[in-house]
Amino acid sequence: MKRPALIPLCFLACLLAMAPPCRAQADFDIRNKEGLGRNPAGLTLSLKTEDDRQTFHLFETIPFELEFSSSRPSTYSIELDESMNFAGWTHTFQVEPEQAVLLTELEWGTHGVVCCDSKRRYLSQQPTVFKRELTDYLRFEKAGTYRLFITTRRVFKGPGKYMDFGASKILLTSNVLTLTILPDDPDWDAHRLTETLRKLQDPHVRADHRALEQKIREMQSETARYSAFANRLNRTEFAQAQKALNALDTQEAIRERVQNMDMVSKEETTTERKFGGGVVSYQPLLASSTRPDLVVAALEARAENSAFGVDYDYVEWWAKYAVLRDHPELFRPFLDGTEQQKRIHSFLEYEAAAKRNIVLRIEPLVASKEGVAKTVTTLTIKAVKADLAYETKGSVQTTTNH
């Protein structure tokens, strides 16, 4: 007599299990619809992939384009500079479902902005196009269908105010882009790795990249240099191969990524940047990963090589991936700046703890290091300890003052 009652109970359980994703999808659509409704008349932001592809491999780079246009001439201007002011960085990706998405450092918010300069121009019906790789901003952890859109505050009413390097009051919202991510394909991964390493090891490919890099460094305008690095140097065959290798999250590929990091040279053993007091160098091969456990393991293995000097940058990247491994929730998409700041605060605390553990791990290795490797590792340990002591002192003073 009681058996029929199980049917509606099971049905209710299924509905309850499905409710959160349905609500999330509805919220996503509402946010996009409301954002599009707030876009000024005649102003359009189009988000699409190159060649309008919608299906990609799990560990494949995803080239995309942002097209800004206006049907009202000489009305809206766009900030082209993405390094010398804050407007160029004011973008946020919103993704559905977000549970299997990790934000990279570039999108997450620990990057800095070199201040201050600006390069703006009026928008017209002819789109202003930015070509980028989605894998520089976010990564998909598993196969599935994802939807995303982007918001930005880099478009201004009029030419913008002189000496104003902040974000625009206009929050511009794009269309929704739908992507299908295929299940991991080991055969595709292996072929991709072989082809990518071939390009990276090709002397002509490397020489072309270095020649353009040198030409850009000789530019007089700092703004022009940053623009060329973002829009020209990142499009070379060598740079694209680096991005492809960065996106490959197989164990073998990650081992290659760590082995090919740009590290301190013998001539740089006394430079301040590598041992504290400066900006950590960007590592395109470690810009993102969905397998922080494999990255940390590869970093640990290379650090144990007696001929390898563990420099300051190396410890920074090691600590960041240790935090990502242990606290992935900090790197999920967020909706507002308040949540972002909370996560950054938590990240900095976890990062300091990770650095302490790394120092304890590499201190016993110094005795086995040789020559320059011993010098580099010793200086790094000293610099990291000094940074941690300074941060601890500052934290104690802040707590006391409050």
Boundaries of domain holding 167: 23-181
Residue 48's DSSP bridge partners are 65
Same domain, 284 and 392: yes
Domain assignment present for 12: no
Same domain, 205 and 94: no
Same domain, 89 and 193: no
pLDDT of residue 272: 47
Same domain, 46 and 135: yes
pLDDT of residue 315: 95
Residue that terminates a domain, selected from 210, 225, 248: 248
Same domain, 27 and 159: yes
Domain assignment present for 234: yes
User: Looking at the 3D structure of the chain, how many domains does it have?
Assistant: 3
Helix, strand, coil proportions of the chain in percent (round to 5)? Answer: 55, 15, 30
Same domain, 104 and 171: yes
Same domain, 210 and 75: no
Residue 76's DSSP bridge partners are 157, 158
Same domain, 99 and 156: yes
At position 74, the amino acid (one-letter code) is: S
Instruction: Give Cα 258 distance to the centre of its chain.
Output: 17
Domain assignment present for 14: no
Same domain, 331 and 194: no
Full 3-state SS string of 243-302: HHHHHCCCHHHHHHHHHCCCCCCHHHCCCCHHHCCCCCCCCHHHCCCCCHHHHHHHHHHH
Cα-trace Rg, the chain: 24
Q: Give the domain CATH number at 73.
A: 2.60.40.2970
pLDDT of residue 397: 54
pLDDT of residue 14: 41
Quote the CA–CA distance of 35 and 29 in Å, as a whole number: 10
**E strand or H helix at 46, and its extent?**
strand 43-49
Residue that terminates a domain, selected from 181, 199, 232: 181
Same domain, 228 and 371: no
Residue that terminates a domain, selected from 224, 248, 272: 248
Given a cut of 50, the residues of the chain with pLDDT beneath it are 1-19, 110, 266-267, 269-273, 277-278, 399
- Other CB atoms within a 10 A radius of the CB of residue 345 amount to 9
User: Please, are residues 58 and 89 in contact by the beta-carbon 8 Å criterion?
Assistant: no
- Give pTM, 2 decimals: 0.84
Domain assignment present for 259: yes
User: Please, are residues 295 and 258 in contact by the beta-carbon 8 Å criterion?
Assistant: yes
Same domain, 58 and 177: yes
Same domain, 135 and 264: no
Domain assignment present for 173: yes
**E strand or H helix at 29, and its extent?**
helix 6-38
54, 85, 87, 80: which is closest to 66 by C-alpha?
Answer: 80
